[in-house]
């Protein structure tokens, strides 16, 4: 047993290759569970939207399209810096990779700050789950805001997790544990971040752009 282990260790390159593909398949499988998690919420959204079409329309008018659009651009740009950060690691350009990763994390934080102000404004107007003011509205509007807080909240939680993940990846990059020959951690973090971006790509038109 030990000889086999030693054999693997000496031909570390081959071991790395098989790990590399396995790690990525694992990440994709995890992303599919995320897809189904949000997919379920999108399903609830679409059924209630079909049932309360006009209420959804009325409620959605109150959302700030500009803030939503700005957040869309912020997330799209963060995906760009993330993808470039991985490319930089693959090229062996560690400093650039670190810079781009920090930028990605900052974009993530900027997204959350915007979200804070957006939710804050809604709270000030008395629109939050369980509030008296929201309770007096039509059923469909209550459902719209329930789904809005649930879905953007769960998405926001994913952004927070992403930023925390980036700080770990950053540490690995600084300590040179992620480098040109071993970059699956940063690549998988990127895959996660891009999925979070894709979910927002669907959330934005479905909540902010109902005419």
Partner 1 sequence: MKEYEGKANGGSTGFQPVKNEYHVIPYRTYAMVWIGLAVLTGVTIWVAGIPLGRFNVLAALLIATAKAGLVLFFFMHLLYETTLFRLLLPVALITLASIIGLTFFDFSFR
Dihedral sign for Cα atoms in the order 117, 111, 192, 162: negative
Pick the closer one to partner 1 by CB: 19 or 171: 19
Residue 205 CB, nearest approach to partner 1 (Å): 4
Pick the closer one to partner 1 by CB: 25 or 136: 25
Residue 130 CB, nearest approach to partner 1 (Å): 27
Distance CA 33, CA 42 (A): 14
Residue 126 CB, nearest approach to partner 1 (Å): 27
Pick the closer one to partner 1 by CB: 3 or 33: 33
Please give the residue ranges that form the binding site for partner 1 (CB under 8 A).
11, 13-14, 16-18, 20-21, 24-25, 28-29, 32, 35-36, 39-40, 42-43, 46-47, 50, 65, 69, 72-73, 76-77, 79-80, 82-84, 87, 90-91, 181, 190-191, 194-195, 197-198, 201-202, 204-206, 209-211
Distance CA 165, CA 163 (A): 5
Dihedral sign for Cα atoms in the order 184, 190, 192, 198: negative
Other CB atoms within 10 Å distance of the CB of residue 130: 8
C-alpha distances in angstroms, 123 versus 62, 147, 200?
13, 15, 22
Instruction: Check residue 137 and give left, alpha or beta (phi > 0: left; psi -120 to 50: alpha).
Output: beta
Residue 87 CB, nearest approach to partner 1 (Å): 6
Whether 107 contacts 196, CB under 8 Å: no
Pick the closer one to partner 1 by CB: 82 or 98: 82
Pick the closer one to partner 1 by CB: 109 or 206: 206
């Amino acid at each position: 047993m030990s000889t086999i282990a030693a054999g693997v260790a000496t031909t570390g390159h081959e071991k790395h290759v098989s790990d590399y593909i396995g790690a990525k398949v694992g990440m994709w499988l995890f992303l599919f569970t995320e897809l189904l998690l949000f997919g379920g919420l999108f399903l609830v959204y679409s059924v209630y939207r079909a049932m309360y079409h006009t209420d959804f329309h009325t409620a959605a008018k109150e959302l700030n399209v500009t803030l939503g659009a700005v957040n869309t651009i912020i997330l799209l740009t963060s995906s760009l810096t993330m993808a470039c950060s991985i490319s930089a690691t693959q090229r062996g350009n560690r400093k650039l990779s670190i810079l781009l990763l920090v930028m990605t994390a900052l974009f993530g934080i900027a997204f959350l700050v915007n979200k804070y102000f957006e939710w804050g404004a809604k709270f000030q107007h008395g629109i939050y789950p369980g509030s008296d003011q929201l309770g007096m509205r039509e059923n469909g509007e209550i459902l719209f805001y329930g789904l809005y807080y649930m879905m953007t909240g769960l998405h926001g939680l994913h952004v927070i997790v992403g930023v925390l993940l980036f700080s770990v990846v950053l540490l690995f990059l600084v300590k040179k544990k992620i480098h040109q020959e071993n970059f699956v951690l940063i690549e998988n973090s990127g895959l996660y971040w891009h999925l979070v971006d894709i979910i927002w790509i669907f959330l934005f038109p479905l909540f902010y752009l109902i005419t």
